[in-house]
Amino acid sequence: MQTISLTPMREYYDSGATRSIEFRIKQLNALKQLVIQNEAAIAEALYKDLHKSEEEAYATETGLFLAETKHLLSRLRKWARPASVKTTFANIPSSSKVYRDPLGVVLIIAPWNYPFQLIMIPLMAAIAAGNCAVLKPSEMAPATASLIEKMIAGIFPDNYIRVINGPGDQVIPPMLESFRFDHIFYTGSTFVGRQIYKLAADKLVPVTLELGGKSPVVIEPDADIFVTAKRITFGKWLNAGQTCIAPDYLLVHESVKDKLIDAIGKSIKEFYTSDPAGSHDYGRIINQSRFKKLVGYLDNGDVVYGGDHDISQLYIGPTILDRVNVEAPIMHDEIFGPILPVITYKNTEEAMAIVTRNPDPLAFYLFTRNQEVVDAWIKKTSFGGGCINNTAYHFSNYHLPFGGVRGSGMGTYHGKFSFDLFSRPKSVMKTPFWFDPRIKYPTFKGKIKLLKRIFG
């Protein structure tokens, strides 16, 4: 494969052209208008790749990008302004400030499940912080990848923002070997994340990894079962379960299991009709490889709802598996599909023990009215982020940092956290000439008591 030269991007960044706030705002507004003008084309591409409805495409992709862009544009001048901080007694009368510098030329690698917003929201932040950016869309969502390349090339010079399409395993390694990026932002599987991390380590390139894991839903006996069922159904079967923060499995108190399963079944029918294959709102599996992997899970428990599938349509209906053994394969892998295992527990301690079998999930969901139970779970469980009495919606709140922990990722973004991620703090202390006490210079002999008072 031909080597891709990114030297012009380094030269453009080094010229300082991307650094002024006026330039950044101009580019962000251009990007925002580009997305608005191509809203119909974006929805069409997402339908081709994942069978997303126009409404789902807007709510989970285009709309999220536009909302966060509006928020960023309204605050960018404030965030980019040097921040004054306190100065220690030993440095009086100096003044201290923290500046935010761009990182340089960054690489953004996106997944296939939300192939538009998971590349465009990081791009928006990279532009806001004053960087140049290389974008690598997922080849598994070809319609969206092609559209993104066409859109970006139409308004940005390729020495500023550049889209590089192609198979990731063929495109990314040569890029990382031939060019030193200043940051890599990767969203995708843990397996590929490890490979990216290894490649980046050779050149000491900092990396943000947005990965996944087995995100549990714990349902306590005091939960409102009807509301709980609707919120679980929404979070689980959005995008046919192909969401990194989708509920991966249910941990439901044994006293309410049957009632909850029945309520979820009713919610599925309410949301997607009794024939989800014909539903306006129900998606498809990304490809045959993933389809076959998911169908292989169906014998890991008793199918108590759904289980219907058609490889010719890449369709697997909303499915609930009961009586799943914690040792089953489906309880070791992130499912990333429309199959929901159900496991019962007798008490909170037992539930916590099950969660710790797959530690540090990207998301955690708890349904209860009991604040003591909430406090116990939050205190004792490590997870990237989550909801109490809800699922998935925390992702849409750009005031919250989004990211994983340990095996589910490193680094956070959204809102100001995105701006901070794609910039670096630079510390500057300014000292006047008029005050220059001799105590600050050698010899220090005999000054220990005075030094302890100054620094102590």
Show Cβ contacts of residue 343 under 8 Å, excluding neighbours closer than 6 positions.
249, 250, 251, 252, 324, 326, 331, 354
pLDDT of 217-230, one tens digit each? 999 999 999 999 99
At 329 the pLDDT is: 96
pLDDT value, residue 102: 98
The span from the CA of 102 to the CA of 132, in Å, is 9
Question: pTM to 2 decimals?
Answer: 0.96
Please name the residues in contact with 319: beta carbons below 8 A apart, sequence gap of 6 or more.
298, 303, 305, 306, 307, 338, 339, 340
pLDDT of residue 126: 98
- Give the residue from 211, 119, 203, 208 showing the smallest Cα distance to 422: 208
Catalytic option among 68, 220, 244, 334: 244
Q: How do strand 207-210 and strand 183-187 relate by DSSP bridges?
A: parallel
pLDDT of the residue at 42 = 98
- 111-to-187, 202, 417 alpha-carbon distances in Å: 6, 24, 20
CATH code for the domain defined by 216-396: 3.40.309.10
| Catalytic residue check, 244 | yes
What pLDDT does 2 receive? 54
CATH homologous superfamily of 7-211+406-428: Aldehyde Dehydrogenase; Chain A, domain 1 (3.40.605.10)
393 touches 387 (CB < 8 A) = yes
Q: Which residue has tokens 């989970």?
A: 60
Sheet holding 319-322, edge to edge: 302-305, 319-322, 339-345, 249-253, 216-219, 363-367, 385-388
The two structure tokens encoding residue 91: 């440095």
Give residue 437's pLDDT.
Answer: 87
Domain ranges for the chain: 7-211+406-428, 216-396
210, 220, 334, 387: the active-site residue: 210
Domains 7-211+406-428 and 216-396 share a fold: no
Residues of the chain below pLDDT 50:
1
117-128 helix and 21-37 helix, angle to the nearest 10 degrees: 160
Tell me, yes or no, if 210 is annotated catalytic. Answer: yes
Quickly count: other Cβ atoms within 10 Å of residue 347's Cβ. Answer: 9
